[in-house]
Structure 1
Amino acid sequence: MNKNEYIPFLSEIKEIKKHTDIEYTFTFDYDGPVRPGQFFEVSLPKYGEAPISVSGIGEGTIDFTIRKIGKVTGEVFEQYIGDRLFLRGPYGNGFDVSDFRGGELVIVAGGTGLSPVRGVIEHFYENPSETSGLTVISGFKSPQDVLFKEDLARWPEQMKLIVTVDKAEGSCAYPEGLVTSYIPDLAVRDANTAKAIVVGPPIMMKFSVKALLDRGLKEENIWISQERKMCCGIGKCGHCKIGDSYVCLDGPVFNYTKGKELID
């Protein structure tokens, strides 16, 4: 008998990692198919549920990097290792790493947009022979907002990594500037075949994609995520509907040839 994907199931918190005062990564036990960029509904009785992207995939575990911004996520932050929450999913189509094997890949992420692409980065970090070149450009508002610092410290072993902040403070370890300022000088050998993933705030994605196109990348070789539009996960509430598309069903990951039409 197949599991009903609309029914929540209990999952235990295995680990909690603090990044900032309002952003933690919660590791849950989970044994099932899942792709980077997909999302689950995380819920607590009496408080509701919230759609959260998968930020890491382990052996029998999944990570959710959660920002404390509302009633549900605020209550999640009151939970501890060993506590159990309800999950349902995974939903959406996510990123298929096979789309990016064998060639050059550029990943541009803004703020928490690094979370849904972290699984892709980890895959190619562990399997560097599957790509002929990986560049990751990740931008944050300030040094205090930087996520996954341990990952950022080791990723340069297998890729070119650029981390930037909108506003540097004091003896900041990161350069000041926007992610788009690094795109014109990208060291890609063949812009016609290079592929890219762009995830972040809408205005950041707009100008990052434009810069990639100006650099010579093709529209069909760029993927974006509309994850901020996710809501119920099953196409019933209509919150994520843009034109004829439901982001929770047809996305949140879209090839740019389709994603460029999703103007909200």
Structure 2
Amino acid sequence: MINVYMPRKVEIISIIPQTDIDYTFRLKSDILPQHGQFLQVSIPKIGEAPISISDYTDEYIELTIRKVGTVTDAIHELKPGDFLFIRGPYGHGFPVEDFKNKNVVIAAGGTGLAPVKSIINRYNRNPKEIKKLSILVGFKSPKDILFEDEIKKWKEKFDVLLTVDNGDETWKGNTGLITKFIPDLKIENPDDTIVIVVGPPMMMKFTCLEFLKRGIPEENIWVSFERKMSCGIGKCGHCKINETYVCLEGPVFNYTKSKQLLD
């Protein structure tokens, strides 16, 4: 019998600081997950935490981890050459095969950019897979911006709008919530447009409502409840909303389902 709780040992190849509390850990691994899946990451005698996969190749996976608790604090103390333990990947990802030849809009708030970064990089490598990609990404402040170098590269190929809730004296870019900019977003054919929304619960709620106002069909909107993850295998019940185990049926949901999941 396979022990589903048994993790595997992986080496940290490199660590890339993103902000003061967000680091991207590149781990040696041949896992090829679905976009939007997550891993359980652990340190023996410390504990484990669910972490979204922010990117991957056939040689490594990347996890962008915020320092917010006992496990993640310990992970941030590690260095290249050290080891982590992982199990997974878990959950259902975004059905990107169904997005081919569509217009795609990705709206991400804060660390919600991490679970969709691999999708953006997929289209960056294969731009002809879809008709058009538009990216809306928002952060609390300039110091909270993730993946700055990659955002600059995305701007070379795609329509990218970067905004912060609160700027400072050095910030020359957009200011305001993502929802502020959706009414002016160029959407040529709503029925042929796929929308992906990931971020804090309230951000996702009102962002989805704004896209519905723009005529995007409910079935064309996809969201991720990646913040609800816990054990990953539907045993602990911490992710359960009504009768739905988010880690088993999600974390990615079509809006027609997610609008019923009131946590």
Q: Same fold (TM over 0.5)?
A: yes
Tell me, in whole angstroms, the C-alpha distance in 2 between the residues paired with 1:65 and 1:32: 16
Task: Tell whether the 8 Å contact from 1:39 to 1:91 is kept in structure 2 after alignment.
Answer: yes
Residue 230 of structure 2 aligns to a residue whose secondary structure is coil
Give the letter aligned to residue 43 of structure 1.
S
Give deviations 1:144-182, integer Å, cap 9, x for gaps.
Answer: 000000101100122100000000101214211110111
Tell me, in whole angstroms, the C-alpha distance in 2 between the residues paired with 1:256 and 1:231: 22
Tell me, in whole angstroms, the C-alpha distance in 1 between the residues paired with 2:81 and 2:45: 20
Give the letter aligned to residue 199 of structure 2.
G
Which structure 2 segments of 5+ residues have no match?
Answer: none
Task: Tell whether the 8 Å contact from 2:31 to 2:61 is kept in structure 1 after alignment.
Answer: no
**2:172 corresponds to 1:183:** no
Tell me, in whole angstroms, the C-alpha distance in 1 between the residues paired with 2:90 and 2:58: 20
Structure 2 residue aligned with 1:170 = 169
Range 136-145 or range 27-36, more displaced: 27-36
Residue 227 of structure 2 aligns to a residue whose secondary structure is helix
Question: How is 1:1-264 mapped onto 2 (pairs within 5 angstroms)?
Answer: 5-264=4-263
Tell me, in whole angstroms, the C-alpha distance in 1 between the residues paired with 2:250 and 2:134: 24
Range 113-122 or range 91-100, more displaced: 91-100
Residue 191 of structure 2 aligns to a residue whose secondary structure is coil
How far 1:3 sits from its partner (Å)? 6.9
How far 1:33 sits from its partner (Å)? 2.8
Give deviations 1:84-135, integer Å, cap 9, x for gaps.
Answer: 1100000001123212110100000000000000011111111111111110
Tell me, in whole angstroms, the C-alpha distance in 1 between the residues paired with 2:73 and 2:200: 22
How far 1:71 sits from its partner (Å)? 0.4
Tell me, in whole angstroms, the C-alpha distance in 1 between the residues paired with 2:58 and 2:87: 19
How far 1:30 sits from its partner (Å)? 1.1
Tell me, in whole angstroms, the C-alpha distance in 1 between the residues paired with 2:157 and 2:95: 20
Which structure 1 segments of 5+ residues have no match?
Answer: none
Matched residues, number: 263
Give the letter aligned to residue 73 of structure 2.
G
Task: Tell whether the 8 Å contact from 2:42 to 2:48 is kept in structure 1 after alignment.
Answer: yes
Give the letter aligned to residue 51 of structure 1.
P
How far 1:4 sits from its partner (Å)? 5.4
Tell me, in whole angstroms, the C-alpha distance in 1 between the residues paired with 2:95 and 2:128: 17
Task: Tell whether the 8 Å contact from 1:198 to 1:224 is kept in structure 2 after alignment.
Answer: yes
The alignment-based identity, stated in percent, is 51
Task: Tell whether the 8 Å contact from 2:12 to 2:83 is kept in structure 1 after alignment.
Answer: yes
How far 1:24 sits from its partner (Å)? 0.2
How far 1:192 sits from its partner (Å)? 1.6
TM-score, length-scaled by structure 1: 0.97
Give the letter aligned to residue 53 of structure 2.
V
Task: Tell whether the 8 Å contact from 1:222 to 1:255 is kept in structure 2 after alignment.
Answer: yes
Tell me, in whole angstroms, the C-alpha distance in 1 between the residues paired with 2:62 and 2:173: 26
